Chain A
Amino acid sequence: MINKETISLALKLFIITALSALILAFVNKITAPVIERNSIESFNKSQAEVLPEAVSFTKTDFSDVALDLEGVKIDSLSIGLGNDNNCIGYVASTVCSEGYGGDVKVMVGLTPDLKILKAKILSASETPGLGAKASEPKFIDQYKGKSGILSVIKGTASNENEIAAISGATITSNAVTKAVNATTSLLQKKMENGFNAKEISETNEIKDKIIEETEKQISENPDTMTNNSENKGEGN
């Protein structure tokens, strides 16, 4: 069954595939750090957008908080720090899997007393013209200034903790709200547990490290940094 020809065919195909994989590994090695830096930069930009007053951010561990959430996953939680290292707010990014077209990623910035400053859709694959309207100010700015657990209603919102659904896209509206609510309950629980001292001291270390890295980046690559600061200025 297996003759010389088959072996030679398999061998040639194997050589082609192996060479391709080798080339790709090489290209990946060049581009991976750039891609990583891009994603960190855009993450930082989003953080600065939802919590504009913060000077720096530091990621916090939240594994001690047990949340009973179905369909929502917390991606990250950061503390926003002011000029003299005081906490001026929190930023969390969450993923809700109950959107119309799959996952909806939401980032929320909150004040220390858990009032929502701004919510932002990081990524979603909702229907254009309907669910995709979730990113428009008309819907997403409803979260501004709200606090506590929010609920979605159809029509116009009349109560303090109500969000008016996008017409024709209740599911998307629910998914976004679920993600925002998860952020609030995560922070409520986390504040009950308390941010421990170790985290805060780590916070400062990390902050120093970030400053160091940024300076290094500036010296290495002045162009991207100036672009970045311009973008930051635009804010909304």
Chain B
Amino acid sequence: MRGLKVFLNGLLKENPSLVLLLGMCPTLAVTTGVSNAIGMGLSATAVLICSNFVISLLRKFIPSKIRIAGYIVIIASFVTVVQMFLQAYVPSLYDSLGLFIPLIVVNCIILGRAEAFASKNNIFLSALDGLGMGLGFTLSLTLIATIREILGNGTWLGISLFGEGFQPASIMILAPGAFLTLGCILAVINLISAKRNGGNKNA
């Protein structure tokens, strides 16, 4: 039961990119297409699960004075492993994500979860937290990418949705579109939560 709560917490209630606003760089940079977003999300998920697992395993071994350095080394190792596997077996994804794969190391979500969750909880819950957070991250990346790819390119996952007549607004897949999309999504979330709170007050 606790496990399910931890898992859902990461997926929705404390969604890392849309609620906690962590890991903004990849959220904005790789969401030009849905396939990139899913690739990035799953890579980060893999790193999150593994690093949460190992950090939780070693939480009694790593002294608190050098914990950040230790965490960074562990995270960087897993990122490099993911990087090498992608380069070897999914080279096209490796090329299109480029610089942002090694930059998973400095994604605040991963270090944040290590510090806030994995260093205090047992192995099972930590891995589950990693899975929840990772999938939450993937979900929000996919959402942003869906909006941007459809409006900016007229496609979803590379499949053309509209006929020849559709004139895509290419600004949506350029830099400004990223900020704009995220801003609008956050505004909608604000609206929804405001309505909910308002409803509670009335009742």
Q: Which A residues form the contact surface with B (CB < 8 A)?
A: 8-9, 12-13, 16-17, 20, 23-24, 27-28, 30-32, 34-35, 38, 42, 128-129
Chain B contact residues: over half helix, strand or loop, or mixed? Answer: helix
In chain B, residues 70-96, which have Cβ atoms closer than 8 Å to a Cβ of chain A?
70, 73-74, 76-77, 80-81, 84-85, 87-89, 91
Can you list 18 A-B contacts (CB < 8 A)? A8-B63, A12-B61, A12-B70, A17-B73, A20-B76, A20-B77, A23-B77, A24-B80, A27-B80, A27-B81, A27-B84, A27-B85, A28-B84, A31-B84, A31-B85, A35-B84, A35-B87, A129-B174
Q: How many A-B residue pairs have CB under 8 A?
A: 50
Chain A residue nearest in CB terms to B32: A128
B8 within 8 A of A: no
Q: How far is the CB of B82 from chain A (nearest CB, A)?
A: 10
Which A residues lie within 8 Å of B74 (CB)? 16, 20
Chain A residue nearest in CB terms to B63: A9
Q: How far is the CB of A128 from chain B (nearest CB, A)?
A: 7
Interface residues on B, range: 20 to 34
Per-position contact with A for B159-191: 1 when CB-CB < 8 Å, else 0? 000000000000000100000000000000000
Query: Are the C-beta atoms of A12 and B174 separated by less than 8 Å?
Result: no
Q: Known: A20-B76, A24-B77, A129-B174. Contact between A13 and B84, CB under 8 A?
A: no
Bound together, the chains give a CA A42 to CA B87 distance in angstroms of: 13
Other contacts beyond A9-B66, A20-B73: 6, CB < 8 A: A16-B62, A17-B73, A20-B77, A27-B84, A31-B85, A38-B87
Q: How far is the CB of B132 from chain A (nearest CB, A)?
A: 25
B2 within 8 A of A: no
Per-position contact with A for B75-119: 1 when CB-CB < 8 Å, else 0? 011001100110111010000000000000000000000000000
Q: Known: A128-B174, A129-B174. Contact between A13 and B70, CB under 8 A?
A: yes
Bound together, the chains give a CA A34 to CA B88 distance in angstroms of: 5
Instruction: Find the residue from B70, B73, B88, B91 having the highest chain A CB count within 10 A.
Output: B88
Contact of A38 among B66, B70, B85, B91 (CB under 8 A): B91
Bound together, the chains give a CA A30 to CA B61 distance in angstroms of: 30
